[in-house]
Amino acid sequence: MDSSTPVVFLHAFPLNATMWTRQAEAVAPRRVLAPHFPGFGGRAPGEATLEAFARAVLSDMDAAGIEKAVVVGLSMGGYVAFRLHALAPGRVAALILADTRAGADDEAGRAKRTDQAARARREGTRWMADAMVPALLGETTRRERPAVVAQVRALVAQADAEGVARALEAMRARPDSTPDLARIRVPVLALVGEEDTLTPPVEANRIAEGVSDGRLVVLAGAGHLANLEAPEAFSAALGDFLKMAG
């Protein structure tokens, strides 16, 4: 990998690719691709599997003329990054897995996603911001960064109900990627907010320790959406990793 290697950013649930604006600017002049997943950002919903999401990203890379890239995935984007690497490891120059986990959902987690998918189809998505923001954002952000809270609420409000339901079903059915960690031979940065309660630092540490070339960075004062809550620190960690990995 060299400084001309493009970067592909994979967004969190239930946001869209505009969440990556600050980081896309920070990695300039590298080429950047930040696709919306099917069902988000105005893109039509598709098959409710993470493999289908990963294939959509590979198609977007093909359309953009990107053969190989550094893949950055946060939360659901991290789950898709695991599937993308499993499908096409030769397309991945390095991985940044942020605020995510390798493991599959437990029974309670699967049941919660089932209930949320049904509610999205039944009621739409107006309830989601109130239900999810307390978990998506860290305590410090909720207390001290009202602009970030408003930004996340606005992004959640843009989500399409059927897209949300299918993404929930895709995440519910995702396989355990823990056995895949040992097969990842590219540099990996596990990046996590210190206050992330959905995928806490212990999960990021499992990723960093499970791969052959892993690093762990914990961002103070940030929760699950660390790139929005601590954009300068997130971008700095990303930039440092790109220099080291290159």
Domain ranges of the chain: 7-245
pLDDT, average across residues 151-163: 94
CA dist 48 and 171 (Å) reads: 9
Instruction: Give the angle subtended at the CA of 35 by the CAs of 232 and 152, to the nearest 5°.
Output: 50
The percent of residues above 70 in pLDDT, for the chain, comes to 98
CATH of the domain spanning 7-245, picked from 3.30.390.10, 3.30.230.10, 3.30.70.330, 3.40.50.1820: 3.40.50.1820
Backbone φ and ψ of 33, nearest 5° = -125, 125
Determine the Cα–Cα distance for residues 99 and 144; give it in Å rounded to an integer: 21
| Helix (H), strand (E) counts: the chain | 11, 6
pLDDT tops 90 at residue 195: yes
Residue with tokens 């239900």: 131
Compute the 3-state secondary structure of the chain and give helix, strand, coil in percent, each to the nearest 5.
55, 15, 35
Q: Let me know: does 13 contact 21? Beta carbons within 8 Å.
A: no
In tens, the pLDDT along 58-68 reads 999 999 999 99
Is residue 44 a contact partner of residue 19, using CB atoms and an 8 Å limit?
no
* Per-residue pLDDT at 245 exceeds 70: yes
Average pLDDT in the chain: 96
Q: Using an 8 Å Cβ cutoff, are 12 and 19 in contact? A: yes
Strand order in the sheet with 7-10: 32-33, 7-10, 69-74, 92-98, 188-193, 214-219
Alpha-carbon distance 161 to 159, whole Å? Answer: 6
Contact 113, 207 (CB under 8 A): no
Q: What's the token pair of residue 103?
A: 């493991």
**pLDDT exceeds 60 at position 43:** yes
Q: What is the pLDDT of residue 4?
A: 85
pLDDT at 1: 54
pTM: 0.96
Q: Average pLDDT, stretch 227-242?
A: 97
Per-residue pLDDT tens over the stretch 101-145: 999 999 999 999 999 999 999 999 989 999 999 999 999 999 999
> Which residue in the block uniquely carries the two structure tokens 């029974």?
107
According to DSSP, the residues that pair with 188 across neighbouring strands are 95, 214
In this predicted structure, the answer to whether residue 178 has a pLDDT above a threshold of 90 is: yes
> Residue 191: which pLDDT band, with cuts at 50, 70 and 90?
very high
